[in-house]
Chains A and B, each alone.
Chain A
């Protein structure tokens, strides 16, 4: 028997995930046009792998396949994996990463809604640890023809010297390490556009636009993007003002790497993130802090993924400590709360 309520809002997981995909389109368009068209190949490859892996796992776990595959959640994961990988990684690396994301990070933990870690970030971190070289070959924006990119993806000879440039973050790190006089000197280099890496500023703008769409459609709330951007700006700004020769500017940090992708699409993953309003602020600010630390002092060029995983661990604690006040109760700790 069916019980009340007998009416439902026309909402579905499919609609939520579909809107997330739609919101990624502006960023992807800018990516394909300004940086590397190879990303489209990777996106397709990742999507196919994800759907196949999802169907396989559902079959193994004896769950209804059709409804779970059509909820589009696997494709969202696939796209996020592809978008944070270099666009010219070999095909098997993309596939392997997606398999890790779907099989290990998602289904071994119990499937949609059960995973404590962000699957795309699990994939990113395991691949950067396992294949650090492949994972840091970013082509300079627009430097490679589509054919060359396709060749690289499909396993052509990887003689990349001279073809790939370092990312802005990489250049910054190596530049500073190798004794360049200051951040500014490094930023004169060819890898950089107006701000952040050349060409990437457009991608970042695309992600920002998509993120605003998600805010407008109430798929995400303002808390996480705002806290992430504010925290990243605040901490990088403080150190930049303190010593601009050693630390990059907030604008640089925001437009580099996947900062915008992270702010609106990765940090905001509902399943593995904090859920209370205050918890969301803490969660996103924590990621920004860890990302900045790793970018500035750590061994990897990009720290957001590690920040996400580390903060994922803290989610139960954050949620528990930030439970909102219940109607009629003066404080959340009134009666029973500790």
Chain B
């Protein structure tokens, strides 16, 4: 398959701002005073704590056992002492909290015993388990567990490595490809075998000629055919769906997995981590983070997971007029509400921002239906239609216009001459719809439970009635045989009795039914259901999901960012 490239619709070409941080080699960040290691690395991958406060841990020692299908293990990023286990705020737009193990480094960096893993001999299942136990998740930003993504080992023809890195300012993958091309390729070949693919393509935006050259040179040194494919620099070419489209022509619709279309896509950083895990037995303990923007020393650092961001920032020497910090790129990132939060496996970039560097958008004006947004939308949506319907809270219509196909790339808001924060409206609409659906599901479940109980009671009543009737018939029959004087009468009575029993049963049934229809009223929910609903509400509040509309919808806007996106959603994140 030789280099025919496909186009995706729309896209934008913002100033790349890559050179600031791309020209210096990756440096190792110094050990921080403490490491706050979250047990839940994403909404999907979580772990159970297996260490105690006060316990000494070694670098690479497992501190969290994978939980559930999507769980991955968590490790101590360095040697030291566990000083706390509790809830800490995460690097998240709305200050989400999660359970963390806090480690005070002893500065010795003593490793736990570890050795290479023979994936060939161990076989596929054991290899996936190994990756899970090494804490392997997608390092492009979506942190989806890699062992799950590797699937069942068949049905995937094309393995794509995502080195596009289309977001402005971010250069961590660029530097990684320049400096560790052999490792990336080795990891890619491991993934290639595990997934049983026939073709390996590495897509890199053509604004990274050094990375392309380095990867090409590395590809020369291996036997497997690898296609290093430069792709046109057009944001969001690094979005998973867009990159797959560009390289293969295949379009993955919303809600579908790329594996169903015989392609799978991993970030180059993930491939490198896979290589470290298999060839050296090292779990994911660090990642490359770009520090850039309004700083004197932009660059890339290899940072231990759990390093508090405020301890990291001085390395880049932020300038005095810095007023906030963005996590991720300027297109899809978010402003950090506080800085004492840890770097996690998905943190790829921190941009120091000043009012002159990233000025606040001009005031919002009415939509003039110019269609610029539709021309820029890589999902081929009509953003202004979505905007009208979201704004009017006409969520059904918004869904009809395929609201959920929106990947929140921000192209539409970027080009809009009326400066409408379109993506805010879409996030708001999505979170509202999710909230409603969650409520509905809860109500459905409650109703089901309720109906089942009614059904049970009804059945019991019927059984009781039938038993009673049978007993009555028996007694009568007995009486009849005993008393010859009332023989004639008794014979009619025995004939009537089964009928009476039937009637009684029917009455009981009707009554039960009536009861059930009456209490189906929401006013009269069982205590259990009420507790359920209260719990859901509390959870939603905790997640800040209580729908906060964009400025135009509510003057005191909170945060419309949907925090717990469904599993399929964040996967196509073009932050990679």
Contact = CB atoms under 8 A, between A and B. Distances in A.
Nearest to B253: A328
Contact of B330 (A6, A219, A221, A275): A6
Given A324-B382, A326-B402, A2 B253 contact: no
B304 interface: no
A29 interface: no
Interface string B352-390: 010000101111011111111011001111101100000
B253 A329 contact: yes
Given A71-B365, A328-B254, A329-B253, A11 B330 contact: no
B12 to A, nearest CB: 7
Given A328-B252, A328-B254, A270 B370 contact: yes
Interface stretch (A106-114, A175-183, A186-194, A249-257): A106-114
B331 A4 contact: yes
A328 B330 contact: no
Contact of B168 (A7, A13, A15, A337): A7
B414 A5 contact: yes
A326 B381 CA distance: 6
Contacts of B253: 327-329
Contacts of A162: none
B368 A270 contact: yes
B566 to A, nearest CB: 16
A275 B400 contact: no
Interface majority SS (helix, strand, loop, mixed), chain B? loop
A275 B371 CA distance: 6
Contacts of A324: 374, 380, 382
B227 interface: no
A275 B384 contact: yes
B142 interface: no
Interface in A5-34: 5-9, 11-13, 15-16
A251 B394 CA distance: 47
Contacts of A12: 362, 417-419
B399 interface: yes
Nearest to B94: A1
B353 A6 contact: yes
Given A16-B370, A67-B365, A8 B335 contact: no
B423 A5 contact: yes
B382 A323 contact: yes
Given A327-B8, A328-B251, A3 B334 contact: yes
Interface stretch (B34-42, B522-530, B553-561): B553-561
A112 B8 contact: no
Contacts of A221: 371, 375
Residue picked from A6, A9, A67, most chain B C-beta under 10 Å: A6
A325 interface: yes
A4 B417 contact: no
A57 to B, nearest CB: 13
Contacts, number: 142
B154 to A, nearest CB: 23
A294 B423 CA distance: 45
Contacts of B298: none
B289 interface: no
B333 interface: yes
Interface in A57-93: 64, 67-68, 71, 73
A6 B17 CA distance: 14
B413 interface: yes
B414 A8 contact: yes
B52 interface: no
A8 B423 CA distance: 13
Contacts of A13: 365, 368, 417-418
A70 B376 CA distance: 26
A114 B14 contact: no
B47 interface: no
Nearest to B330: A6
Interface string B324-337: 00101011111100
B416 interface: yes
Contacts of B147: none
B545 to A, nearest CB: 16
Given A1-B335, A4-B330, A11 B416 contact: yes
Nearest to B415: A9
B9 interface: yes
B205 interface: no
B421 A3 contact: yes
A4 B417 CA distance: 16
B549 interface: no
A9 B414 contact: yes
Interface size classification for chain A: 35 or more
B405 interface: yes
B368 A16 contact: yes
Interface majority SS (helix, strand, loop, mixed), chain A? loop
B419 A325 contact: no
A329 B559 CA distance: 31
B221 interface: no
B363 A67 contact: yes
A221 B375 CA distance: 10
Contacts of B369: 113, 270-271, 273, 275
Nearest to A14: B417
A46 B399 CA distance: 43
B547 to A, nearest CB: 15
Contacts of A15: 417
Interface string A257-277: 000000000000011010110
A112 B366 contact: yes
Nearest to A111: B366
Residue picked from B241, B251, B334, B368, most chain A C-beta under 10 Å: B368
B410 interface: yes
A251 to B, nearest CB: 31
A15 B418 CA distance: 10
Contacts of B333: 4, 6
Nearest to A273: B369
A5 B417 contact: no
Given A113-B366, A328-B251, A328-B253, A1 B559 contact: yes
B551 to A, nearest CB: 9
B256 interface: yes
B256 A16 contact: no
Contacts of B402: 326, 329, 336
A3 B424 contact: yes
A305 to B, nearest CB: 20
A273 B368 CA distance: 10
A328 B399 contact: no
Interface in A216-234: 219, 221
B380 A1 contact: no
A327 B251 contact: yes
A275 B374 contact: yes
B9 A327 contact: yes
Given A326-B381, A328-B253, A4 B419 contact: no
Interface of B: 8-9, 12, 14-15, 93, 168, 241, 245, 251-254, 256, 326, 328, 330-335, 353, 358, 360-363, 365-372, 374-375, 378-382, 384-385, 399-402, 405, 410, 413-419, 421, 423-424, 427, 557, 559-561
7 contacts: A3-B424, A3-B427, A4-B332, A7-B15, A7-B330, A8-B362, A270-B368
Q: Which 5 A-B pairs have the closest CB atoms?
A: A328-B253, A5-B410, A113-B366, A6-B330, A11-B417
Interface of A: 1-9, 11-13, 15-16, 64, 67-68, 71, 73, 111-114, 219, 221, 270-271, 273, 275-276, 319, 323-329, 336-337
